[in-house]
Structure 1
Amino acid sequence: MSTPVRSSPLALTVLALLHYRPLHPYGVQRLIKEWGKEQVVNVGQRASLYRTIDRLSAAGLIAVRQTERGSQYPERTVYELTAAGRDTARAWVREMLAVPKREFPEFPAALSNLLLLPREEMVEVLGERAEALDRELAGLDASLRAEGERGLPRVTMLEAEYLRAVTAAEAAWVRSVVDDLRTGRLTWTEEALRAFGDAGT
C-alpha cells in the first residue's frame, strides 16, 4: 500500500522533471540548477532531495527504472514517473496555481515587530534590504536576458518573471516606507502604543 505524500515545491519539481525523461537524483539536481529552478525550489542540501525522492517512491508516484553502474561514478538509481505520479503532479500544479496559500515568511513577521528598533535603525536596516533587493533584481534581469538569448520560450521563464515583479514591488514599497520614516510621514507616539497595548489586556 502506498504512503500518502504532501505536495511541496521540491516534490512537484521532481515529478515535473521526470515527466520529460527518467533521471537519477544527481541528474534531477543538475537540471534544477541548469533550468534556473533553484530560484523557486530549495535544493541546497542533497539530503533533502534524496528524502523527497524516497517519499515519492514510497507513495508510488515514481518507480525505479534501472540501476546504472559505471567506472567513473558510483552506482546510480534511475527513477521514472508512474501514472499515479503524472496525475498527482497535474493535480498539485492546478491547486498551487489556483488556490493562494497562506505562508509565513520572515519579513512580515519582522515588520510586525519593527517597533523593537529605534527610528534611525529602522531606516538603516530597511535601506539595507532595499539595496539587497536591487541586487536581486539585477540578477533576475541578467538571468532573464541570458535565457532569452538562449532562445527559450517565455513560458519556461514565467517563474523568473514573477519573482522579478514581486521583488520590484517589494523594493518600491520598502523605499516608500524608508522615505516616510525619514520625512516624518510615518509617525507614532509611545502613549498611543501603550494605550493600544492596554486595550488588549
Structure 2
Amino acid sequence: MATRRKVSNLLGLAVLAYLSRQPMHPYELGRTLKSNGDERSIKYNHGSLYMVVQQLAKAGFVAPWETERDGSRPERTVYALTDAGRAELHDWLCELIEQPQREYPSFIAALSLVAGLPPSEVVPRLRIRADELAEQIAEARGVIDRSLAEGVSRLFLIEEEFRVAMLTTELDFVRRFIGEINQPGGYGRMWREFYEEK
C-alpha cells in the first residue's frame, strides 16, 4: 500500500537521489538533471525545482549545508541530504519499485472512448501515432547506443531500455488494432455499420 508522503512529486525523489551523492545548489541540481537526461523521465522546470527543494527542506529531508557567493552574484544556498531524507529516499524508491500503481495514461482513456469516432477517422490517426512511436523508439535506442559508446554503464540506462520495451509494446498493439479494424470480421464491421460507413 502506498504511503502518504510529505513530498510526493517525483522531482523530489530525484533531488533526494542526487543529494545522496553530494550537497548541491538547486541550480547545480537542475544542470545535473538536464545533463543526465532526466527530463525524459521526470517532469520539471527551473521554478518547480526550487519549489521542490523548499518543500523537501520544510519536511526535514534536506537542509542548508553552506552558503556560497560567486563574485558579485547573489548568495546561493547549497543543500545536503539529512538522515530523514536518506530514509525517505530509501523507502520511496523501494515502494515505487515493488508496488504497481494505477496510472491513467491519456491513450488508455482515448481507447476507452474510441467508438466516439468513426473507424475512417481513427485508422489514419492510429497510423500517425504508430509513426510517432517508431520515432520515439529510434530516439531512445539512439540515446542508449550513444551512451554505451561513451562508456556509460547499462545500469544508468535502464529507464531508456524500459522506455523502448513499453513503446515497442504500444506500437505492436497499435498496428494490431489497425489490422483488426480493417479486417472484415474484426472490430470495424459493426463499428462501420454504426456510422454507416462502407
TM-score computed with the length of structure 2 as normaliser: 0.89
User: 1:177 deviation in Å?
Assistant: 0.6
Residue equivalent to 1:64 = 64
Residue equivalent to 2:183 = 183
Task: State how far apart, in whole Å, the 2-side matches of 1:96 and 1:8 are.
Answer: 12
Residue-by-residue CA offset, 1:148-177 (whole Å, 9 max, x unaligned): 011111111111111111011111111111
Residue equivalent to 2:11 = 10
Residue equivalent to 1:106 = 106
Gap regions ≥5 residues in structure 2:
none
1:160-175 equivalent positions in 2, closer than 5 A: 160-175=160-175
Gap regions ≥5 residues in structure 1:
194-201
Tell me if 1:156 matches 2:195: no
Residues 67, 77 of structure 1: 8 Å contact kept: yes
Task: State how far apart, in whole Å, the 2-side matches of 1:33 and 1:145 are.
Answer: 19
User: 1:146 deviation in Å?
Assistant: 1.1
Aligned CA RMSD, in angstroms, stands at 1.7
Residue equivalent to 2:89 = 89
Tell me if 1:33 matches 2:46: no
User: 1:188 deviation in Å?
Assistant: 5.4
Task: State how far apart, in whole Å, the 1-side matches of 2:190 and 2:51 are.
Answer: 51
User: 1:6 deviation in Å?
Assistant: 3.3
Residue equivalent to 1:199 = none
Q: How many residues align?
A: 188
Deviates more, 1:139-148 or 1:31-40: 31-40
Q: Please give the secondary structure, in 2, of the residue aligned with 1:104.
A: coil
User: 1:63 deviation in Å?
Assistant: 0.4
Residue-by-residue CA offset, 1:17-40 (whole Å, 9 max, x unaligned): 000011111111111111121111
Residues 7, 92 of structure 1: 8 Å contact kept: no
User: 1:72 deviation in Å?
Assistant: 6.8
Residue equivalent to 1:52 = 52
Q: Please give the secondary structure, in 2, of the residue aligned with 1:65.
A: strand
Pair 110,72 (structure 1): closer, same or farther in 2 beyond 3 Å: farther
Q: Percent identity at matched positions?
A: 34
Q: Please give the secondary structure, in 2, of the residue aligned with 1:20.
A: coil
